[in-house]
Structure 1
Amino acid sequence: MSFKEEFARHSWDTVKEEIYSKTAADVERALTAPKRTLEDFKALISPAAAAYLEPMARLSRELTRKRFGNTIQMYVPLYLSNECTNICTYCGFSLDNKVRRRTLTDREILREVEVIKGMGYEHVLLVTGEANQTVHVEYFKKVLQSIRPHFAQVSMEVQPLDRDEYEELIPLGLHSVLVYQETYHQEDYRKHHPKGKKANFNYRLETPDRLGQAGIHKMGLGVLIGLEDWRTDSFFTALHLNYLEKTYWQTRYSLSFPRLRPFSGGLEPKVEMSDRELVQLICAYRIFNEEVELSLSTRESEKFRNHCIQLGVTSISAGSKTNPGGYAVEPESLEQFEISDERTPAEIARMIRDAGYEPVWKDWDAGLILND
């Protein structure tokens, strides 16, 4: 069964009703269960679980330390292009946002790499808009061949590709791919993606299957919190993760939980999520799945990130620029969204150490994963 078929078996409205009807007894059962199920996850993200935030946080921290020790991996995004052929209501790169576009050249990319390496990074996340005529597979091939010698780990967050295209990129050093569904609510998905290839809900939904079939080492999932009911969207993210782990068991997985941030188009969130609710979600994911990596970006505030690295987060960005050329080439070019935590990587590393954790700039060598 494909995930598209698994997804079709679940009604959004039914799932939402089940989450909101969970009781304190359901939450207590989930906290003490020897192995958590998707029903337990519904309880952990339900309104009833708000009263159990402290025991959830303690358990989440305990499970994270048991699996990941006292380490927090550091990564940084490298934006290659703001060109995009999609219209997305929440993104500064949207086609209908009339701004100057640019795609970095080989020489410009290496200037950005020099600055990023000077910060100490060994893990870089390549990011682009979705413009198949400009930032296509051949462009990605050139970029990977150019920057691969400079980094221990290269990830990508670009437009979804076909299986054979991923198979071409993996031997060139592509380690991880992040692909966010944005929302699993099909009607709202169409509303937020009225034009472009991204408007194809099912093609995006099936991207993790294509990645798994291609043999990617790690993939990242998530939704943009604020587009729809965060509890229901998070359940479908957990459902997707559950399916993928069973189907592509050799692949590692990460989750992100970005909240809608201001950008030049000014979309207001349909659903607000409080800091306490985001803590609840982070803890719920960890209690549900002890193996998944949880990532927190500079979208969140200093205070929130200082607190959450002790609750289940295993990966964190720092010093991020969300515009192509933002580190060296053109610092004032269009940002995809505004960041909140503007501390330098050195300041973040110091904060991590002060909290009793160890910042990790490089957590693997290529030779160690050849037989995975």
Structure 2
Amino acid sequence: MTSKPWFEAHDWTTVQRDIYATTPRQVEQALATSRRTLDDFRALISPAAQPYLEPMAQLSHQLTQKRFGKTMQLYAPLYVSNECQNICTYCAFSLDNRIARRTLTAEELLREAQAVRALGYEHILLVTGEANQTVGVPYLKQAIRLLRRMFSHISMEVQPLDQPEYEELISEGLNTVLVYQETYNRSTYRNHHPKGKKSNFAYRLETPDRLGQAGIHKIGLGALLGLEDWRTDSFFTAAHLHYLERTYWQTRYSVSFPRLRPIDLRQNGAITSKSFERCMSDRDLVQLICAYRLFNEEVELSLSTRETPRFRDHVLRLGITSLSAGSKTNPGGYVVEPQSLEQFTISDERSPAEIEAVIRQHGYEPVWKDWDKTFMPL
């Protein structure tokens, strides 16, 4: 059992009941105030808020431009390993999926990094499966040392680590860590993570605390939308963000919106595709993006290539501040081994240059890096 007061203060069943009992009057009150609380956020993600989507979108657009201007940050994921010691019911890298496993060598990592850098990126997201023996801290340290020569900002989405390990990687040049709780429903979480270190709900939940205590520059949060009721999971994500911002106030924060995507499974020599039925609609996701912006004017909101080109173009002006483009979700996917199995299928296959053109057509300026280390205090 986790001892975090912010988490224990909210009961899943009660939160879910209150969301679906929200009235139009509560939504109107949430829209009318300028300092929104978690109760207001709960109203804005409720079914009762759906008729108010247009004013939510307009206000979200205004607040985003006021804080971030007409800019859109671009980043690319670099998958270096599909080795994983966990069984996760929604991931192609799951230990029980009989796929060919591979981890990039230092030479292969450099080739992939050079290909990403040639696309214009200065912000790279390092991604691995969760396998401490193969892609543990020594591997990650070497990877960061190689990548920091080419990129001004290095993010990481790997297995949760202990605080001293994060401190070690930060000293090497790590700037940002993304860690998604997947779902904040403890029972559902257990069902989807039956084996491996990831099955420890509390350890994963407390990862952002270890990051904050280690002094990380930015933490990325999110729930895997579709594992559980998206509204309730999003409330818990917002409550988590609210707690972290007040506890580790020198750290920046971002929220991502990963919707479940189909995955390929390889069992007994055959390849099958697994889809998911609980995913939210496009309209639901627009509502959620706007609700986050109305709740928090400072948080960065990120959208990946899981989403379709049409949807990404539509929401570009509604609160999103960063986009991935030209993404490959398999180790070596850019140049080393393009045909290796993807972690999930992407929807927007446009090149970074095409995304840049779309951003400019909307009157925005693409930004190819997050920040520069020369601006950090000594």
Question: Which TM-score tier does this pair reach, normalised by the shorter chain?
Answer: over 0.9
Separation in structure 1 between the aligned mates of residue 94 and residue 158 of structure 2, nearest angstrom: 14
Identity across the alignment (%): 68
Indicate yes or no: 2:286 matched with 1:279: yes
Indicate yes or no: 2:246 matched with 1:239: no
Q: Aligned to 2:336, what secondary structure does the other structure show?
A: coil
Q: What is aligned with 2:347?
A: 340
Q: What is aligned with 2:56?
A: 56
Contact 1:228–1:270 (CA under 8 A) maintained in structure 2: no
Q: 5+ residue gaps in structure 2? A: 266-272
Separation in structure 2 between the aligned mates of residue 177 and residue 370 of structure 1, nearest angstrom: 20
Q: What is aligned with 1:14?
A: 14
Contact 1:318–1:343 (CA under 8 A) maintained in structure 2: yes
Question: 1:79-158 to 2 correspondence within 5 Å?
Answer: 79-158=79-158
Q: What is aligned with 2:338?
A: 331
Separation in structure 2 between the aligned mates of residue 283 and residue 363 of structure 1, nearest angstrom: 22
Once the two structures are TM-superposed, the CA of residue 305 in structure 1 deviates from its matched residue by 0.2
Separation in structure 1 between the aligned mates of residue 326 and residue 248 of structure 2, nearest angstrom: 33
Q: Alignment RMSD, CA only?
A: 1.0
Once the two structures are TM-superposed, the CA of residue 222 in structure 1 deviates from its matched residue by 0.2
Separation in structure 2 between the aligned mates of residue 90 and residue 232 of structure 1, nearest angstrom: 19
Separation in structure 2 between the aligned mates of residue 322 and residue 370 of structure 1, nearest angstrom: 35
Q: What is aligned with 1:207?
A: 207
Separation in structure 2 between the aligned mates of residue 270 and residue 46 of structure 1, nearest angstrom: 20
Separation in structure 1 between the aligned mates of residue 281 and residue 143 of structure 2, nearest angstrom: 39
Separation in structure 2 between the aligned mates of residue 75 and residue 273 of structure 1, nearest angstrom: 25
- Counterpart residue identity of residue 239, structure 1: A
Q: Aligned to 2:83, what secondary structure does the other structure show?
A: coil
Once the two structures are TM-superposed, the CA of residue 297 in structure 1 deviates from its matched residue by 0.1
Once the two structures are TM-superposed, the CA of residue 362 in structure 1 deviates from its matched residue by 2.1
- Counterpart residue identity of residue 72, structure 2: I
Contact 2:254–2:300 (CA under 8 A) maintained in structure 1: yes
- Counterpart residue identity of residue 223, structure 1: A
Q: Aligned to 1:80, what secondary structure does the other structure show?
A: strand
Separation in structure 2 between the aligned mates of residue 370 and residue 340 of structure 1, nearest angstrom: 40
Q: What is aligned with 1:352?
A: 359
Number of equivalences: 370
Once the two structures are TM-superposed, the CA of residue 156 in structure 1 deviates from its matched residue by 0.1
Separation in structure 2 between the aligned mates of residue 195 and residue 293 of structure 1, nearest angstrom: 33
Contact 1:182–1:223 (CA under 8 A) maintained in structure 2: yes
Once the two structures are TM-superposed, the CA of residue 171 in structure 1 deviates from its matched residue by 1.3
Once the two structures are TM-superposed, the CA of residue 267 in structure 1 deviates from its matched residue by 4.4
Q: What is aligned with 2:268?
A: none
Indicate yes or no: 2:256 matched with 1:249: no
Once the two structures are TM-superposed, the CA of residue 84 in structure 1 deviates from its matched residue by 0.2
Separation in structure 1 between the aligned mates of residue 30 and residue 5 of structure 2, nearest angstrom: 27
TM-score by length of 2: 0.96
Q: What is aligned with 1:168?
A: 168
Separation in structure 2 between the aligned mates of residue 114 and residue 34 of structure 1, nearest angstrom: 45
Q: What is aligned with 1:229?
A: 229
List structure 1 segments (4+ residues) > 6 angstroms apart after TM superposition. Answer: none
Q: What is aligned with 2:270?
A: none
Once the two structures are TM-superposed, the CA of residue 248 in structure 1 deviates from its matched residue by 0.1
Note the alpha carbon deviations across 1:218-273, whole angstroms, 9 max, x for none: 00000100000000000000000000000000000000011100001444435231
Separation in structure 2 between the aligned mates of residue 183 and residue 48 of structure 1, nearest angstrom: 23
Contact 2:263–2:275 (CA under 8 A) maintained in structure 1: no
Q: What is aligned with 1:38?
A: 38
Contact 1:227–1:270 (CA under 8 A) maintained in structure 2: no
Once the two structures are TM-superposed, the CA of residue 364 in structure 1 deviates from its matched residue by 1.8
Separation in structure 2 between the aligned mates of residue 278 and residue 75 of structure 1, nearest angstrom: 21
- Counterpart residue identity of residue 261, structure 1: R
Contact 1:180–1:223 (CA under 8 A) maintained in structure 2: yes
Question: 1:307-318 to 2 correspondence within 5 Å?
Answer: 307-318=314-325
Contact 1:212–1:251 (CA under 8 A) maintained in structure 2: yes
Separation in structure 1 between the aligned mates of residue 3 and residue 54 of structure 2, nearest angstrom: 34
